[in-house]
Amino acid sequence: PTSTTTANRPVTEKPKEKKKVQEKPINLPDPPEIIVDEQGTRWARGKLLGSGGFARVYDAQNARGEMRAFKVIAKKHLQSKKARSKILAEIMIHSSLKHPNVVRMEDTFEDDEHVYFRLELCKAGSMNDMVKRRGRYLDAEARYFMVQILAGCQGMHTSNIIHRDLKLGNIFLDEDMNVKIGDFGLAALLKDQGERKKTVCGTPNYIAPEVLYDDGEGHSFEVDVWSVGVILYTMLVGKPPFQTSNIQEIYTKIKKNDYHIPAEAELLVEAEDLITKILAPKPSDRPSLIEIMNHPWFTCGAIPIYIPMQATVSEPRLT
């Protein structure tokens, strides 16, 4: 349904104003068929992997057969000062992060018409594609993915970066099914661990309650912890906890902490306990990433050491 699509797209304005969410790129020049990077390496542009607000992402191959993803932004979209400073912030934040569970940003460069990000290619697509194709994941798979999501998150937080748009659609998988957190378009770099951010941003289904409250308190790292809770719920139940057809209703439900775990999902008591702890309305009541990692849900059942890529389309047989 269209409502789901809208609810999974980011908003950067106050929810009450209910303005447009995002514009699709129209009448844009195609990026060149051969993209030449900063080092002079020539990359043959392949297929369009996806497009977001401003960006189109393609795969590309060099003469040595190496493949990368190129995020291409038309300069037409960067005419305002605000748009340019957002892209610069994304570049600064993303390129500073070097972690096995964060999409590597290898290079940024530009020509007359475009700005390019050369990124590690995530061949298995996003975890959202996977849940759309398969529905909920097995408990063991969810543990495998959660460990890596938490590790990537910890890497960002220790660098004073809040992602602020963590969702299954921004979590990618490489060909070995390693988790790679991507899209730092809404991320914030804090001056110190104590700074509070005030801008309303995030994606409706995954947005933390304190972001919706306009009480001047601001928000911090706990918003990512909240999103991790929404991610865990979605992996195990097959749909997000606050899903409804209307965005305002989603916000009301989030503020009231109005969600329940359907009995037919047959969640382990440990899983239910962990979700409940993470989705605590008060940010300070939420567990830290380390506390999440130490929760009994991780040890009450199997964690596979390897998941086959076939798991992106059908339930894997795990040994």
Q: Which whole-number Å values give the CA distances from 96 to 46, 161, 315, in the listed order?
A: 27, 10, 36
For residue 87, state whether it binds ligand ADP (rule: CB under 6 A).
no
- Decide: is 71 part of the binding site for ligand ADP (CB under 6 A): yes
How many Cβ atoms from other residues are within 10 Å of residue 121's Cβ? 22
Main-chain dihedrals φ then ψ at residue 238, nearest 5 degrees: 100, -10
Helix (H, G, I), strand (E, B) or coil at 157: helix
Hey, which residues between 260 and 319 contact ligand ADP (CB under 6 A)? Answer: none
Site for ligand ADP contains 50 (CB under 6 A): yes
Sign of the dihedral defined by the CA atoms of residues 38, 59, 121, 89, in that order? positive
Q: Which residue has the tokens 């998941």?
A: 307
Q: Any known ligand binding at 76?
A: yes
Residue 179 found at the interface with ligand ADP (CB under 6 A): no
Catalytic residue among 59, 139, 165, 183: 165
Q: What is the dihedral of CA 60, 162, 287, 248, to 10 degrees?
A: -90
- The yes or no reply on residue 202 touching ligand ADP (CB under 6 A) is no
Q: Does 97 interact with ligand ADP (rule: CB under 6 A)?
A: no
Among 35, 121, 161, 307, binds ligand ADP (CB under 6 A): 121
Minimal distance, residue 161 CB to ligand ADP, in Å: 16
In the complex, least distance from residue 57 CB atom to ligand ADP, rounded to whole angstroms: 3
189 by DSSP, 3-state: which? strand
Q: Is 93 in the site for ligand ADP (CB under 6 A)?
A: no
Of the candidate spans 49-57, 76-84, 243-251, 273-281, the one that interacts with ligand ADP by CB under 6 A turns out to be 49-57
Cα R_g (the chain), whole angstroms = 19
Stretch of residues binding ligand ADP (CB under 6 A), selected from 156-164, 168-176, 219-227, 284-292: 168-176
Judged by CB under 6 A, does residue 182 bind ligand ADP?
yes
CB 12 to ligand ADP: min, Å: 12
* Helix, strand, coil % in the chain, rounded to nearest 5: 40, 20, 45
Closest residue to ligand ADP: CB criterion: 52
**Which DSSP helix (H) or strand (E) runs through 49?**
strand 42-51
Are the C-beta atoms of residues 200 and 217 closer than 8 Å to each other?
no
Per CB under 6 A, contacts with ligand ADP among 100-119 are: 103, 119
* Interface with ligand ADP (CB under 6 A), residue from 7, 122, 211, 267: 122
Based on the residue annotation, tell me whether 165 is a catalytic residue of this protein.
yes
Strand 42-51 relative to strand 34-36, pairing: antiparallel
Q: Which is nearer to ligand ADP, 9 or 277 (CB)?
A: 9
DSSP H or E segment with residue 69:
strand 67-74
Cβ(200)–Cβ(12) below 8 Å: yes
**Which residues of this chain interact with ligand ADP, rule CB under 6 A?**
49-55, 57, 69, 71, 103, 119-122, 126, 169-170, 172, 182-183, 185
Active site residues: 165
* Residue positions forming the annotated binding site: 76
